[in-house]
Homo-oligomer: A and B are copies of this chain.
Amino acid sequence: MALDPARTVRDLEELRALTGDENGAQRVAWTETWEQARDFLRSKVDGTGAEEEIDEAGNQWFTLRGDSGRALIIGGHMDSVPNGGWLDGCLNVMAGVEVLRRIAEEGRPPVTVRLVSWADEEGARFGRSLFGSSAAAGSMKDQDELRSLRDRDGIALPEALKEHGVELDGALAARSQLEDAAAYLELHIEQGPVLESMDIPLGVVLGTFGVERSRFTWRGQAAHAGSTPMDKRRDALAGAAKLALYIREIAAEVGGGAVCTSGGVVTKPGIVTSVVETAEQLLDQRHLNADSLARMLAMAREAADRFAAEENIEVEWERIWSIEPILFDETLIGFADEAIREVSGTSHKLPSGPLHDAAEVSRAGIPTVMVFVQSLRGLSHTKLEDTKPEHLELSVQVLDKLATRTLAWLS
């Protein structure tokens, strides 16, 4: 039996009807609807001969034993944000089901093939994303913080997990799942506008951006809007405004896909009759190259000091969060690029702005690659998220061809 990509689209539509409503997908991790989605996945894998296992972190595994214990893993996540899109996460899983079916029907594979649905990629309920994959990758090091997280109803994370059979203290035991992992493949919607703007359906992901998140706090002097001449002012907003514009120059100068975002400015006292005394400015900078990222941050900090001096105000810098760039495997990138060209004629290599479970797996030292399929209007995390059905079908074909090449490589 051949691969049937149209079946994947039908499966996704069925899942949408089952677990979504008029506001979008509702497959939030650690909820009943999420369990429904996991039951649905179980029913779809049924008949392939793959064995199910839920590990200590709540990840749902399906294993098709091969001649070798070394494993090719295809992974995604069934969980969504509230009022989310119908494809984010589950496209990967449902396409993986189709690839698993095709491989199973061809008989025992040369190496073991596994499909995983990671638990709580989105972190929508407790604000901590990549839960299951970070446990399996061994990078989960914030157990104490996780213990203190509560949802909006005041329910603690450990309590919620327990209801779904997961003991937080034992979650890191999921590390054993990756012991025999030889390669990891993940198909995902792009969640950005690049492929659509190039008018091509598919691209191969080079890695996930390193991220530097900063807070710049500008401090000037509140002063009456009427009685303070322009040359006597110490306006905190002026510093924030200069930096909000200068970050474009940073991105342009560093190049290589660099992005800088000033996602918010909070001004105090924030009234019409006063010069701004304090402005808190958030800055998010991303690059695929660690040195370039470090340079971007240094440029922002130097500029901030310069602007503060120009404006006779003060500026304080604080790192909120950072993560290093994670580069995917060159061999697998080559395979994915070939598979995309074979299926759709044109490929494009691009970085991933958002993080994904694949980044955790890659950090654990397992050769990893991701494929992106075009998102319409770049939208995600909304019910408006969409991808053309013909592109979805192409993406299933690409995942299948990528799996075939990878299996041959591992054999």
Binding site for B on A (CB under 8 A): 190-194, 197, 209, 211, 213, 223-230, 232, 237-238, 240-242, 244-245, 248, 251-252, 257-267, 269-276, 282-284, 286, 320, 352-355, 378, 380
Report 19 cross-chain contacts, Cβ distance below 8 Å, ordered by A residue.
Answer: A191-B227, A192-B224, A194-B227, A194-B229, A224-B380, A226-B284, A226-B355, A227-B352, A228-B378, A230-B258, A230-B259, A232-B378, A237-B262, A238-B244, A261-B275, A263-B270, A263-B271, A264-B267, A264-B272
The distance in angstroms between the C-alpha atoms of A248 and B230, with both chains bound, is 7
The distance in angstroms between the C-alpha atoms of A113 and B284, with both chains bound, is 66
4 interchain residue pairs of minimum CB distance = A226-B353, A192-B227, A227-B353, A264-B270
Whether the Cβ atoms of B378 and A261 lie closer than 8 Å is: no
Whether the Cβ atoms of B272 and A232 lie closer than 8 Å is: no
Give 5 new A-B contacts, CB below 8 A, not counting A224-B353, A225-B263, A230-B251.
A229-B257, A230-B258, A262-B276, A263-B271, A272-B320
The distance in angstroms between the C-alpha atoms of A209 and B242, with both chains bound, is 29
Residues in B with CB closer than 8 Å to A193 are 223, 227-229, 232
The distance in angstroms between the C-alpha atoms of A255 and B391, with both chains bound, is 60
For the complex, would chain A's binding face be called helix, strand, loop or mixed by DSSP majority?
A: mixed
Residues in B with CB closer than 8 Å to A224 are 191-192, 353-354, 378, 380
Residues in B with CB closer than 8 Å to A225 are 259, 261, 263, 284, 286, 353
Task: Point out the residue from B245, B257, B266 that lies within 8 Å of A242, measured CB to CB.
Answer: B245
Task: Point out the residue from B241, B252, B265 that lies within 8 Å of A230, measured CB to CB.
Answer: B252
Whether the Cβ atoms of A263 and B273 lie closer than 8 Å is: yes
Residues in B with CB closer than 8 Å to A227 are 190-194, 352-354, 378
Contact status of A241 and B245, CB under 8 A, knowing A227-B191, A257-B229, A276-B263: yes
The distance in angstroms between the C-alpha atoms of A271 and B262, with both chains bound, is 9
Task: Point out the residue from B261, B270, B378 that lies within 8 Å of A266, measured CB to CB.
Answer: B270
Whether the Cβ atoms of B226 and A354 lie closer than 8 Å is: yes
The distance in angstroms between the C-alpha atoms of A380 and B257, with both chains bound, is 50
CB distance from A265 to the nearest CB of B (A): 6
The distance in angstroms between the C-alpha atoms of A320 and B225, with both chains bound, is 15
Whether the Cβ atoms of A264 and B276 lie closer than 8 Å is: yes
Whether the Cβ atoms of A197 and B271 lie closer than 8 Å is: no
CB distance from A330 to the nearest CB of B (A): 22
Residues in B with CB closer than 8 Å to A265 are 237, 265, 267
Residues in B with CB closer than 8 Å to A380 are 224
Residues in B with CB closer than 8 Å to A263 are 225, 267, 269-276
Residues in B with CB closer than 8 Å to A241 are 240-242, 244-245
CB distance from A33 to the nearest CB of B (A): 24
CB distance from A150 to the nearest CB of B (A): 20
Closest to A268 in B: B264
The distance in angstroms between the C-alpha atoms of A236 and B6, with both chains bound, is 40
Residues in B with CB closer than 8 Å to A284 are 225-226, 272-273
Residues in B with CB closer than 8 Å to A209 are 226
Residues in B with CB closer than 8 Å to A190 are 227
Of A213, A227, A232, A244, most buried by chain B (CB within 10 Å of CB) is A227
